[in-house]
Amino acid sequence: MKRSFSLVHVLLVLAFFSHIAWAVKGSSHCKQTHAAEIRPHSVTITEFGAVGDGVTLNTKAFQNAIFYLNSFADKGGAKLFVPAGRWLTGSFDLISHLTLWLDKDAVILGSKNSGDWPVVDPLPSYGRGRELPGGRHRSLIYGRNLTDVIITGDNGTIDGQGSVWWSWFRSKTLNYTRPHLVELMNSTGVVISNLTFLNSPFWTIHPVYCSHVIVQNVTILAPLDSPNTDGIDPDSSDDVCIEDCYISTGDDLIAIKSGWDEYGISFARPSTNIIIHRLTGHNRNGSGIAIGSEMSGGVSEVYAENLYFFNSSTAIIIKTARGRGGYVRNIYISNVTLAGVDTALRFNSNFSQHPDEFYDPNALPVIERITVKDVIGDNIKVAGLLKGIEGDSFHHVCLLNITLNVTTESPWNCSFIQGYSALVSPETCEPLRESIYPKHYSDCYLLANHLWSSAHHLAKEMMPDIRS
């Protein structure tokens, strides 16, 4: 077959190999929509009778301080300062225009008495508690219907003392679903930064039905064998930016969700425009970045870049099942470094937990336009375990510039997926072997723009009189 290369094709290839830097949405920084102005009023938790001895229960002190600060909400808001000390507390509620500030060596400790974590209604998009039918324990730090909330400090610590909850979970003596460490619900303008989060009973940071959320420069730790201690789980939330975090937990470091089966489908609130930059971490029984398994309200426009996962079970995973419905589309993952990871890329379509028997097994998820590029990995067991669903469409999966040192015989195992690839080693599975270039880059999420704009830019530099 005779091939002819147009100028554009030559430039495309040139642009590709010259690795022109390109940042998603032109910027790599989380943008604060609400100015984090200095709060004009500030109180210290000790003014409300708190004792930082690690023994005295301070729930009332936190509640009273926040009740008092409510009167400053329309005067620029206020700051609650938590000094060095060990401040034991049960669950408490935040308010709008509040900054909760934890000084260096300040530790907020979650009570080990489950009665200090009241039971609240299940989320409408889940229909029941995630673990058990009925309500769920409220998170240690909780907020609902808020705007402009900041949880920050000088690397102070919020420690859920989750080990009691993990034992109740293992001995099956829980009465309700375990609580999160921090949950913000139906809130906008949330910033969580410059802190350390330890030992959450369940998922650690859970923004649900939120907009404009920033999680920046936080450390999240829990034992590698602790059950379901996800790091950050944006759930039916939009405009979420997660940057410069270190996470090491018993489950997924970040899991993007949007509700469960028929409840998520009818609530219909997607997670969209989720940006993740500079994430480092590891796990033994989870993934670096997960989408799902609860994704019934849809997940789209996820941009994750500059990721480093080491000694982990899975790096990137999409989890779904028959009955979930919803969609996962327009996902862009780039510049991933892996060391000692069992499975680099995984689609698991058989998450058979359902909220009840009323889910619709014919509600099939749509998985499409997933781009994974610029991945390098050493000591990887399996490159890709990509299982779709028979009779369903997992399509336009695009793999570009992936080099993995794989230690097992069959590096790729794919079924019921469709897509394209280029520069993947070891050679990818048959359904993805068709080349992205020159014909299919526009079927791939964000590859077309990338190369077209780069090529165009280069063309103009090389030949200033080229016609646009």
Examine residue 452 and tell whether it contacts ligand NAG (CB under 6 A): no
Examine residue 335 and tell whether it contacts ligand NAG (CB under 6 A): yes
Examine residue 168 and tell whether it contacts ligand NAG (CB under 6 A): yes
Of 188-196, 357-365, 436-444, 446-454, the window that binds ligand NAG (rule: CB under 6 A) is: 188-196
CB-side neighbour CA atoms (13 Å) of 180: 24
Residue nearest to ligand NAG as judged by C-beta position: 155
Candidates 186, 211, 393, 418; binder of ligand NAG (CB under 6 A) is: 186
Examine residue 131 and tell whether it contacts ligand NAG (CB under 6 A): no
CB of 2 to ligand NAG, least distance (A): 27
CB of 227 to ligand NAG, least distance (A): 6
CB of 439 to ligand NAG, least distance (A): 20
Q: Give me the 402-421 binding string for ligand NAG, x by CB under 6 A, dash otherwise.
A: ---x----------------
Q: In what order do the strands lie in the sheet with 141-144?
A: 92-93, 141-144, 182-185, 205-208
Candidates 91, 125, 219, 229; binder of ligand NAG (CB under 6 A) is: 219
CA–CA distance, 46 with 192 (Å, rounded to integer): 23
Alpha carbon distances (Å) from 91 to 114, 135, 137, 272: 10, 15, 9, 29
- Letter string b/e over residues 151-165, b meaning 16 or more CB atoms within 10 A of that residue's CB: bbbebbbbbbbbebb
Helices (H) and strands (E) in the chain, counts: 5, 27
Choose between 32 and 51: whose C-beta lies nearer to ligand NAG. 32
In the set 251, 252, 261, 342, the catalytic residue is 251
Examine residue 352 and tell whether it contacts ligand NAG (CB under 6 A): yes
- Residue type at position 175: N
Examine residue 194 and tell whether it contacts ligand NAG (CB under 6 A): yes
Examine residue 171 and tell whether it contacts ligand NAG (CB under 6 A): no
Candidates 34, 144, 354, 433; binder of ligand NAG (CB under 6 A) is: 144
Instruction: Say if residues 330 and 301 touch (Cβ distance below 8 Å).
Output: yes
Candidates 7, 19, 47, 358; binder of ligand NAG (CB under 6 A) is: 19
Q: Is 248 helix (H, G, I), strand (E, B) or coil?
A: strand
The CA-based angle 165-168-172, given to 5 degrees, is 140
Candidates 89, 91, 99, 114; binder of ligand NAG (CB under 6 A) is: 114
Q: Which of residues 54-113 bind ligand NAG (CB under 6 A)?
A: none
Candidates 33, 71, 167, 350; binder of ligand NAG (CB under 6 A) is: 350
Candidates 175, 408, 410, 442; binder of ligand NAG (CB under 6 A) is: 175
Mention every residue, 6+ apart, whose C-beta is less than 8 A from residue 64.
Answer: 48, 49
Choose between 64 and 306: whose C-beta lies nearer to ligand NAG. 306
CA–CA distance, 31 with 239 (Å, rounded to integer): 10
Instruction: Say if residues 392 and 416 touch (Cβ distance below 8 Å).
Output: yes
CB of 230 to ligand NAG, least distance (A): 10
Q: What is the H or E stretch that residue 50 is in?
A: none
Where residue 443 falls (left for φ over 0; alpha for ψ -120 to 50; beta otherwise) is: alpha
Choose between 51 and 135: whose C-beta lies nearer to ligand NAG. 135
Q: Which of residues 293-312 bind ligand NAG (CB under 6 A)?
A: 306, 308, 310-311
CA–CA distance, 124 with 121 (Å, rounded to integer): 8
Size of the site for ligand NAG (CB under 6 A): 39
CA 373 and chain centroid, separation: 19
Mention every residue, 6+ apart, whose C-beta is less than 8 A from residue 422.
Answer: 399, 400, 401, 435, 436, 437
Q: What is the H or E stretch that residue 8 is in?
A: helix 7-17
Alpha carbon distances (Å) from 355 to 125, 298, 324, 463: 11, 17, 10, 60
Other beta carbons within 10 Å of 231: 31
Examine residue 374 and tell whether it contacts ligand NAG (CB under 6 A): yes
CB of 37 to ligand NAG, least distance (A): 12
Of 45-53, 193-201, 356-364, 433-441, the window that binds ligand NAG (rule: CB under 6 A) is: 193-201
- Asked if omega into 223 is within 30° of 0 (cis), the reply is no
The DSSP line for 394-439 is: EEEEEEEEEEEEE-SS--EEEES--EEEEEEES---GGG-SBSTTT
Whether residue 230 lies in the annotated active site:
no
Examine residue 161 and tell whether it contacts ligand NAG (CB under 6 A): no
CB of 156 to ligand NAG, least distance (A): 8
Choose between 309 and 327: whose C-beta lies nearer to ligand NAG. 309
Instruction: Say if residues 111 and 60 touch (Cβ distance below 8 Å).
Output: no
Candidates 107, 149, 174, 459; binder of ligand NAG (CB under 6 A) is: 174
Q: Which of residues 242-281 bind ligand NAG (CB under 6 A)?
A: 244
Task: Name the residues that contact ligand NAG, by CB under 6 A.
Answer: 17, 19, 114, 144-145, 152, 154-155, 168, 173-175, 186, 191, 193-194, 196, 216-217, 219, 225, 227, 244, 285, 306, 308, 310-311, 335, 337, 339-340, 350, 352, 374, 376, 378, 401, 405
Which residues form the catalytic set? 251
